[in-house]
Amino acid sequence: MDERIKELHLLLMYLTGWEEDKKNSAGEKIFRAWKGYKFEILNELEEQKLIRQFRHTNSRSLLLTEEGKRKAEGLKQRYLQ
């Protein structure tokens, strides 16, 4: 898959995502985004440890990892500045 397509998907997840409190850890935050993207792209981003999907639930959102957020912030600078 074209690396730019994966990068732009990650960037869109970051730009449309939100931060919320982690359920079991008071004061700890997580960054979520909707998972309305192609499964192949989501799976590759998860293999690269940039996102985490929740397959065991009917969750329609995913988690951007710290590494994923860092990469997305860099992509924001690269593509949007």
- The rounded average pLDDT for each run of 10 residues, N- to C-terminus, in the chain (81 residues) is 92 96 87 94 97 86 97 96 84
pLDDT of residue 25: 81
pLDDT of residue 57: 78
| CATH number for 8 | 1.10.10
What is the DSSP code (8-state) at residue 35? -
pLDDT of residue 63: 96
- Please give the helix or strand (H or E) that residue 64 lies within, else none: strand 61-64
Domain count, the chain: 1
pLDDT of residue 23: 84
pTM of the model: 0.88
**Torsion sign over Cα 21, 41, 67, 76:** negative
Domain that holds residue 67: 3-80
Give dist(CA 67, CA 71) in Å, integer: 6
pLDDT of residue 1: 66
